Amino acid sequence: MSSLTVSLDMVGAMREVGHRKEPDPAQTAMFAELAGARGISVMLRRDRKYLRDRDLYILKNIVKTKLNISMPPTDDIIERAIEVKPYSVTIVADSANSDSLVDTVDFHSGDIDFSNLSNRIKGVGVTVNYFIEPEIENVKGALKAGADSVVLNCKDYADAPTIQEAKTELDRIDRAAQAAFKQGLTVCAGRGLHYSNIQPLVELGNIREFIVGRAICTRALFYGFDRAVQEMIQVIENSPRAIVN
């Protein structure tokens, strides 16, 4: 069955803005799991903006479902992930600009040996995912790199200004998801997903995991975190073709 992984990056951002100890990502993770989330995801940036190394160790100890760390492939962060040993890591493109959003991986970059990177991480029993643009060529790159899973970037779909453009992007995601699924990769989707646009993705029938953060945090401001998580799960589970064989 398709499941929900809750991203806590927005929680870390709110904590950073206030320069205080709250809201606590670890406490939020507990609320999310109690509400039915099947996974927790956090981003560890090279500048440690929003989430900190200490958060990883705390989350590793309290998360009862699956802990995912999204991270750029820098040596210090790779070593930290190997030490923490989450359920999975998601490799994203590295950026020295602390204000930029994380980007998708370019497998044609000659600076990184992605196969070696995957082997290092998988060698300690951690699943390896790659954050990619929804193109078949990128699916092939992830497969060649030794990925267990791909996380498809849904930003262009989420930001599409017209229904027709959204359908075009949905078709692009569908083709990439089908290609990954046929190759035995677990297919995940994230970036820009919210309560109004996630159902068409669920109906594709081959995306096993949806990673959502901002939309849940926004709704939680009005209704509470448990209700926000439960409502997102209901959208996923009640959509046609939500079950993946």
Q: Each residue of 177-210: pLDDT tens digit?
A: 999 999 999 999 999 999 999 999 999 999 999 9
- CA end-to-end distance (rounded Å), the chain: 8
How does residue 84 score in pLDDT terms, banded at 50, 70 and 90? very high
pTM for the model stands at 0.91
CA–CA separation, 133 and 4 (whole Å):
20
Reported as a single tens digit per residue, the pLDDT across 34-79 is: 999 999 999 998 888 778 899 999 999 999 999 999 999 999 999 9
CB contact set of 90 (below 8 Å; sequence gap of 6+) = 41, 68, 69, 70, 71, 129, 130, 131, 151
- Please tell me the CATH code under which domain 3-131+190-237 is placed: 3.20.20.70
DSSP 103: B
CA–CA separation, 65 and 229 (whole Å):
15
CA–CA separation, 212 and 215 (whole Å):
7
Extract the tokens encoding 32: 């999310």
Mean pLDDT of 78-87: 96
pLDDT greater than 90 at residue 23: no
24 dihedral zone (left: phi>0; alpha: psi -120 to 50; beta): beta
